[in-house]
Structure 1
Amino acid sequence: MDRLATFKTIAAQASCGELTFPANVEASVRLQQALMDPDCHADVATRLIQADPLLAARTVAIANSVAYNRSGTEISGVRSAVQRLGVRTLQSLVAAVIVRQIGSRATDPVVREHMQRLWEHTAHTAALAQVIARRVTHVDPDTALFAGIVHEVGGFYLLSRAEDYPGILDGEPEEWTDHGEIEIGRGVLAKLVVPESVMAAVESMWGGMRALPPEDLGDTLLLADDLAPVPSPLHTRPGTITPAAARTIDFAIGDGTFDAILRESADEVESLYAVLML
C-alpha cells in the first residue's frame, strides 16, 4: 500500500470532521462538553460521573492518589472525590477515557501492543507534565495534565484505523511525523473540543523545539515527553533525546535543581501514572 497516500486520505477526512469513532466515544465526548460548560458545578459533575461506574471508580482512585491527597485522608465517595479534584481534573479523567476508547475496537495483536505502549507513554507524559507545571514552569497543572493525556490522540486514532489499512504501521517513523501527525492530530483534537491553549501546546510539540529551563505549556509538555521512560511506538520527534539522556537534564530552580524536584516528586508521578493506567 502507499502509506503516504493513506495518511493523506485519513488526514483529509479528519480535517473535515469525518472521523470514525466507537459509539462509546461519542457519549464520552458529550460528557466532556458538559464538564466544560462554565455553569457545570460540583453537584452536576457528581451526577455525571456517577452515571459511569468505571469513571466513578477512577475519580475516587485519583482523589486518593499522592498527587491529590496531600492530607493523607482517604475518601470513598464520588461526591467527596469531585470536591477534592474539581471539574478541571475531571475533564482530564474523561479525556483519558476517550483516548483509550478510541482504540477499543482493535483486535490485531500488533495494533493492541502499539496501543498499550502508546498509552504507557501518554500516562507517563501526563503525570510528569502535571508535576513540572506545578513545581517548575508554574503553568496551570490541570491544563498540563489534560495536555499530556491528549498529546498523542492523533496517534491513537491512526492505530484505530490500522486494521482498515493493512501496512499503515510499516515504514519509517518520520513518515508519520512529517505526513500524518499534524493534520490528523488537529482534526481529532478539534473533534474532542480541546481548548485552544492545549491545541497550541500540542502543536508546539510537533515542531520539537523547547526552551531550557522550560517556560510555557508547550515546553512543559515537550520536557515531560522527553522524560517519559516509555517512548512513543510511532515516532521520535525532531530534537527528541532518549529517556536515559533526558534524565541527565538539570538546571537551577530557585534554591534547588530540577533533578532534586524530580526525585522529590517521584511518588506523585508514580501514583498519578498508576491511576491513569487503571
Structure 2
Amino acid sequence: MDRLDALKTIAAQASRGELAFPANVEASIRLQQALQDPDCHADLATRLIQADPLLAARTVAIANSVAYNRSGTEISSVRSAVQRLGVRTLQSLVAAVIVRQIGSRQADPALQAKVNLLWQHTAHVAALAMVIARRVTHVDPDTALFAGIVHEVGAFYLLSRAAEFPGILDGEPEEWIGHGEIDIGHAVLDRLMVPEPVMAAIAAMWGGMRALPPENLGDTLLLADDLAPVPSPMHTRPGATTPQAARTIDFAIGEGTFDQVLRESAHEVEALYAVLML
C-alpha cells in the first residue's frame, strides 16, 4: 500500500468512527467527558482525579508549579489542587494527558522522536495561545490553552498508526494536509468531544491565514503557531511564518506593542510550557 492509499485508509476509518486508541486513552476520555458536564463540581472532580494515581500526582505537581502557585504556598492534597486549578484548567490538563497518551505507544525510536518534537511544539503553541488570548485578542484564555493542546491531535494519531503503514511519513508534507489532516483531525477532535468553536478555530489552522492584529481564537492559534520556537515535525501549514521571521512580528496594542507584550509575558509562557512538559 503506497503512502496516499495508507492516508486515505486511516482517514476513511476515522471518518467512520473507527479510531484505534490505547485503553488508557479511553479511560481518560471518560474522565474528560465527566469534567465537561456542567454539573461537575470541585468535589466530584476531586474524586475523579483521585481515581487515577498518576493523574492525581501530576495535578498536585502542576498546582504547585510557578504557573499556578502565585502565592508560593505548597499544597499536598488533590482537593486543594482542584480548588486552586479549577475544573476548566483540569479539562485542559486531562486533554494534555490524552494527546500524549495517543502518541506514547511508539516503539520505533524515529517515530517516538517525532512524537516528542510534536509535543514540544504543541506545548509552546498552547502556552503562547493562552498568553496571547489574555493580553492581546481577549478571547477566553482557558479555551485558547485547551485549543492549543489539541490542535495537533490528528498528527499524534497518525504517528500512533505509522508503524502499521511503513512509509506513510515519507514524501511531501502537503500530502498529509490534503489527504489526511482534515478528516483524521476532525474525527479525533470529535471523539474527544472538542466544542465546535474550538474545532472551527483549529480548522482555520489547516489552511487559514491569520489577521494582524489578531482578532479571534483562530487568529490566536495561528499567531501562536508562527511564534512557537519548535516547529511541527509533521508539516508546515500554508502561509506559515518561520520561527526566525516570526520574531519580527509586531503591531500596536493600545499604549504598547505586541513585542512588549511578549517580553513582559516571557516568564509566564515559560512557566506554562514547563507545566505542559511535566
TM-score (norm 2): 0.97
Q: State the partner residue of 1:156.
A: 156
Q: Report the 3-state secondary structure (helix = DSSP H, G, I; strand = E; otherwise coil) of the residue aligned with 2:12.
A: helix
| 1:177-222 CA distance string (max 9 Å, x none) | 1111001000100111111111111001112311111100010011
Task: Report the number of matched residues.
Answer: 278
Deviation above 6 Å: which 4+ runs of structure 1? none
Q: Does 1:175 align with 2:170?
A: no
5+ residue gaps, structure 2? none
Q: Distance in 2 between matches of 1:253 and 1:61?
A: 35
Q: State the partner residue of 1:236.
A: 236
Q: Does 1:16 align with 2:16?
A: yes
Q: Distance in 2 between matches of 1:93 and 1:274?
A: 13
Asked if the contact 2:132–2:224 (Cα under 8 Å) also holds between the matched residues in 1, the reply is: yes
Q: Distance in 2 between matches of 1:53 and 1:274?
A: 21
Shift of 1:74: 3.1
Q: State the partner residue of 2:112.
A: 112
Q: How does 1:1-278 map onto structure 2 within 5 Å?
A: 1-278=1-278
Q: Percent identity?
A: 83
Shift of 1:61: 2.7
**Match for 1:145: what amino acid?**
L
**Match for 1:10: what amino acid?**
I
Asked if the contact 1:62–1:272 (Cα under 8 Å) also holds between the matched residues in 2, the reply is: no
Q: Distance in 2 between matches of 1:250 and 1:72?
A: 34
Asked if the contact 1:21–1:102 (Cα under 8 Å) also holds between the matched residues in 2, the reply is: yes
**Match for 1:188: what amino acid?**
V
| 1:149-204 CA distance string (max 9 Å, x none) | 00000000000000000001110111111111001000100111111111111001
Asked if the contact 2:67–2:275 (Cα under 8 Å) also holds between the matched residues in 1, the reply is: no
**Match for 1:111: what amino acid?**
L
**Match for 2:182: what amino acid?**
I
| 1:195-251 CA distance string (max 9 Å, x none) | 111111100111231111110001001111111110000101000011111111011
Q: Distance in 1 between matches of 2:254 and 2:61?
A: 33
Asked if the contact 1:55–1:93 (Cα under 8 Å) also holds between the matched residues in 2, the reply is: no
Asked if the contact 1:231–1:243 (Cα under 8 Å) also holds between the matched residues in 2, the reply is: yes
Q: Distance in 2 between matches of 1:133 and 1:69?
A: 21
**Match for 1:267: what amino acid?**
H
Q: Distance in 1 between matches of 2:133 and 2:75?
A: 26
Q: Distance in 2 between matches of 1:258 and 1:57?
A: 37
Asked if the contact 1:126–1:144 (Cα under 8 Å) also holds between the matched residues in 2, the reply is: yes
Q: Report the 3-state secondary structure (helix = DSSP H, G, I; strand = E; otherwise coil) of the residue aligned with 2:70.
A: coil
Q: Distance in 2 between matches of 1:261 and 1:58?
A: 30
Q: Distance in 1 between matches of 2:179 and 2:268?
A: 36
Q: Report the 3-state secondary structure (helix = DSSP H, G, I; strand = E; otherwise coil) of the residue aligned with 1:5.
A: helix
Shift of 1:75: 2.5
Shift of 1:50: 1.5
State the superposition RMSD in angstroms: 1.1
